[in-house]
Amino acid sequence: AQSVTQLGSHVSVSEGALVLLRCNYSSSVPPYLFWYVQYPNQGLQLLLKYTSAATLVKGINGFEAEFKKSETSFHLTKPSAHMSDAAEYFCAVSEQKGNTPLVFGKGTRLSVIA
Amino acid sequence: DARVTQTPRHKVTEMGQEVTMRCQPILGHNTVFWYRQTMMQGLELLAYFRNRAPLDDSGMPKDRFSAEMPDATLATLKIQPSEPRDSAVYFCASGGTGSRGNTIYFGEGSWLTVV
């Protein structure tokens, strides 16, 4: 069985500050890991994914995440927050097979303060 | 730009009515997922198909929900009869094979309100 825990349902940062959204996973098999972003009234857009190649993964919009097996973590970071980053962020895990279902965390709402 | 298309985008219906949501996966994708999003439960998998065959529908209330893929370009999710607790956003997603294997693309969702 797989599961994801996102620490903090709401994170607030100042514009220009570091963004850190935490994700810990549990998986009985080697995982693939994903971060998706959801803007209001829209679907989910893939930010980045870990598929067992490089442990540091770079995504769109300046985000990156590092897979740490020893800590079972896949935290999302961005050096400098923009107002446009305000959204809901979801971490997800799947098995290392083609197109198996994603198991999502509860999400973290990011607010960016001017 | 290839995308997953869902209809309707918004639906308000009365309790007891039948609701049908439709999804056109990205052309060439062989795996289709239905997820439901609510404030309380977050994103839950309802069902998924591969090559039009249902692989898992254990997340779906069997008495009132049904999911089908009449052909490779259409997936449907039906609720009959609908209840207020079915109010949620229903997402369809699809995934293909090849160099982008295991990336799952989501539609914009169908916002359902049952009154």
- Tens of pLDDT, residues A49-106: 998 778 999 999 999 999 999 999 999 999 999 999 999 999 999 987 777 899 999 9
What's the confidence (pLDDT) of residue B101? 55
Distance separating alpha carbons of residues B33 and A29, to the nearest angstrom: 21
Cβ within 8 Å, pair B96-A49: no
State percent of chain B over pLDDT 70: 94
What's the confidence (pLDDT) of residue A28? 86
Residue B86 backbone dihedrals phi, psi, to 5 degrees: -85, -5
Minimum distance, in Å, between the CA of residue A34 and any CA atom of chain B: 9
What's the confidence (pLDDT) of residue B98? 57
DSSP structural state of residue B25: P
Higher pLDDT: B75 or A31? It is B75
Q: What is the pLDDT of residues B90-113, one digit of tens each?
A: 999 999 865 555 689 999 999 999
Distance separating alpha carbons of residues A42 and B110, to the nearest angstrom: 10
β pairing state of B42-50 and B53-56? antiparallel
**Residue A11 CB contacts under 8 Å (≥ 6 apart), including other chains:** A19, A20, A21, A108, A109, A110, A111
What's the confidence (pLDDT) of residue B83? 97
Q: Which residues pair with A21 in a beta bridge?
A: A76
**Residue A53 CB contacts under 8 Å (≥ 6 apart), including other chains:** none
- Is there a contact between B91 and B22 (Cβ–Cβ < 8 Å)? no
Q: What is the CA radius of gyration of chain B?
A: 14
DSSP structural state of residue A52: S
What's the confidence (pLDDT) of residue A102? 93
Q: What is the pLDDT of residues A10-52, one digit of tens each?
A: 999 999 999 999 999 999 888 899 999 999 989 999 999 998 7
**Is A57 within 8 Å of chain B by CB?**
no
The helix (H) or strand (E) run that includes residue A23 is: strand A19-27
Phi-psi region of B101 (alpha: psi -120 to 50; beta: other; left: phi over 0): beta
- Is the pLDDT assigned to residue B59 strictly greater than 60? yes
Cβ within 8 Å, pair A43-B104: no
Place of tokens 């998924």: B48
Distance separating alpha carbons of residues B107 and B22, to the nearest angstrom: 11
Average pLDDT over residues B40-66: 94
Amino acid at B97: T
| Cβ pairs bridging A and B (under 8 Å) | 53
* Cα B74-A96-B2 angle, rounded to 5 deg: 35
